[in-house]
Structure 1
């Protein structure tokens, strides 16, 4: 069996090792913070050798980003309330809660710190693309209900909701409460009404 065949397997030992390492990484970050986490500690907790980690993730930053991207998929669901405003408020509330968690903050900071590293930049791009692709369903359903113009750029609309949340969480360290979320969503909807 060739190396490429082994790498293409989706299950088996490789998948178990990946899951164990990602879980150990998330637990270590939650307990100690990203800066205090070491590859040796993660390897011990996952029951693998450090070389097994370094084969898949060349740096701690690569490992943290992969673990946090994997975690993110399960933590920020896409709501379907039957109303664009309620969907956006619910989605923004999930994002705010995620950004307020130790793991969410670490992911956001890791993406900001990714810089020009090609692998980290690719992970950041993958994160945003998958997040926008999933959340675009909120806008597409609103188009079907006639709440927004059919030519509305879903990605741009979602950025107008998500960006202020990240700005508050990472730059100004302002609280993201219900009022802030309502104001953000209502500002977007008012803008859409003016241009609808």
Structure 2
């Protein structure tokens, strides 16, 4: 039931946009009653966040290629590929630019989704430090923020195309900053 409701929400989001999204339309599309949806999610915002978080986790797995450059390249390219899909584009727009983005619960949930994403990706940095590829103490969250920032900047602000070259450039810049010690916690 959860997977069916998530799929229905994402399909509705892609086809109709956030403004036309409703628990009723999602439930109908999923083939369940709206009370079934409300038993699991308190409102549309909670359902949206849950579906987007799961979509991101499934679409952008945490790699283990054996090198930090390979891991970060895989992450950045997966991010680009995810946002190139209609579902990924709709998810970003819903989470960042629609009325949903201004709801306190969606803003808080968006932070939680990113925090969880950073937590799940921490082993990429930890392994790299252990292999001597990055300085000890490199902040995993700051490294990931540095890497995804140019991608999201293009997607959300300038509307420039993003592709594997964009992902690879973001990785090169991130690794240069990390290796120079720019991504250590303040005061180190």
Moved over 6 A (4+): none
SS of the aligned residue for 2:102 comes to coil
Q: Deviations over 1:87-131 (max 9, x none)?
A: 1111100011112222222332333243352x2233212211111
SS in 1 for 2:132: coil
SS in 2 for 1:195: coil
> Please, what TM-score do these two structures have when normalized by structure 1?
0.80
Contact 1:40 1:50 in 2 (8 A): yes
Q: Which residues of structure 2 form unaligned runs of 5+? A: 183-188
Partner of 1:115: 102
What SS is found at the alignment partner of 2:127?
Answer: helix
The aligned length equals 179
Q: Which residue of 2 aligns with 1:167?
A: 153
Please tell me whether residue 183 in structure 1 is matched to residue 169 in structure 2.
Answer: yes
Q: Report the TM-score when normalising by structure 2.
A: 0.83
Q: 1:122 and 1:146 mapped to 2: Cα distance? A: 35
Structure (1 or 2) with the larger CA radius of gyration: 1
Aligned counterparts of 2:21 and 2:91: Cα–Cα separation in 1? 14
2:90 is aligned with 1:106: yes
Q: Secondary structure at the match of 2:32?
A: coil
